[in-house]
Structure 1
Amino acid sequence: MTASDRSPPPRRPLAGAALWHALNLGLPLAFVVIPILSFVMVSFWMLRDGQIVQTLTLENYRTFFTDSAYLPVYLSTVLLSLEVTVVNVVLATAIAVFIFRRTARGRFLILMSFMLPLFMSYIIKVYSIRSILGQRGLINEGLLAVGLIDQPVEALLFSRTAIFIALAVLYLPYAILPVYLALDRIPANYLAAAADLGASPLQGLRDVVLPLGRPGIAVAAVFTFVLTFGDFVTPQMVGGTQGFTFGRIVFSQFGLALNWPLGSALAVILLGTTLLAVALAGLAMKREHVR
């Protein structure tokens, strides 16, 4: 067969290609970009006598910085999310390295045991944590049984400590998975080469495994921070009066106060904070690649 006898590959119909590109661009535009832009627009309006006044103003953002009910809660929520992020990244890295060192069968079983909670109802998981941290929960009952305490520790529930523990437990699987996936992509010959050069298992972990797993660690940190910073259900269910986080403030403006302009401004600030976290993680990884 000559080259002239070969028929050109069939082209996708123009209408089909246009529809495909329209779906690729239109769906994110309709369900992500436009709703976000609507929140941004509403954030520059204001509520007056129970009615939304569509006049451009920075009053809602000024309220965030000047009213003592917002900025301190925002900063405390950022601090709480950072604390949970640090703890979860350390735990997730240790667990991922432990899974990585097991056989293929052992990896699957251990990884599934940590991923199984992701298939459970969120409310069930929160109530399970409450049953563990409560005054008659598993921890207090165990401490009472061994005689370490004389009465239940009330600080384990409806406190900032309870929020910290609950958030760390709930979002630990989201941190384990990206770290493990990053480690799983490390070629086996890298570790073999390190061993041939005289590196001990600990040196191989320090000089090969962890440096190559940094992208997964960065993703784990971003996942944990973003999810914990925006969570408002968990602080409400396990924190009680101490669980007034920034996510709950945003929720209260939409669901209780019905102040959509202020709620939109706070939501934009929340979105900006999460985007900043993602950008900082990306910048850190870019600098790491440059080295």
Structure 2
Amino acid sequence: MRAELVSADTAGVFHGEGAFWDDATGSVRFVDMLRGDVLTSDDASVRRSHVSDVAAVIRGRRDGGYVVAIERGFALTDENLAIVTEIPVFRERTARMNEGACDAAGRFYCGSMAYDTRADGGRMYRLDPDLSVHVVMGRVTIPNGLVWSDAGTTALHADTGEGVIWAYDFDLSTGEFGDRRPFVRFDGTKGMPDGMSIDDEGGVWVALWGGGAVHRYAPSGALDLVVTVPAMNVTSCAFGGPDRRTLYITTSRQGLADPEPHAGGLFAIQTEVAGAPVHAFGG
């Protein structure tokens, strides 16, 4: 399977990340992370909205508007992506937010990382609907791709720096992560795990940074499908469309010594399986 470029309008994206399908507008949204912009792709056109110095990941809010992880905290926006509330989380200028997702209870999680990508330089934070912030995981390096399986009792979280997708016992009633075990390990020869999505059969779709592909892993952890992408640094993937059978894929120009014509572009492919519903933030 090979993904196709959605729109040449995204050629100017430097570090595309954090794709999600916005049911409220019928469009795919993603971020140009290090430029602090949210991009909205609809009918092959792209609109760019500046939010903050860094826009790490965006999700919808149940009562309208959006939640965005910004450089050192969270922000709530209105429907037009204007910030209405900021929630500071940490002060260290050597670190930034990177990637996250919402659980079925409407809590928003995002991991931080050191700008120099040093080992164990980040943490995982949880923003509750009452806007309180909690540290739920320490000592992460490059936190990425958070999804839930097994009716929400297992959380799958990738650490790109470690080259591992970890499976955690997860308590949906409290939002706490328990014991972990490796789901898939990577040796770097075919890329490292970045953003993830999950389908309604429990298959885990993983964007491969440095791998030019998205892999689908069965619930057992066995590789069963490869989607090639004509860009090396693949960063995130998200199911969308009215039937959730279009997989949207973001890419990045960051770290490339030689320009790639489609790096930073948004790609898509039709899939036989539908994506699982994506949860909104409850605050």
Bucket of the pairwise TM-score, normalised by the shorter protein = under 0.3
TM-score, structure 1 normalization = 0.20
If you compute each CA radius of gyration, which structure gives the higher value, 1 or 2? 1
Greater RCO, 1 or 2 (C-alpha within 8 Å, sep 6+): 1
Q: Which has the higher helix share?
A: 1
TM-score when normalising by structure 2: 0.20
Larger strand share, 1 or 2? 2
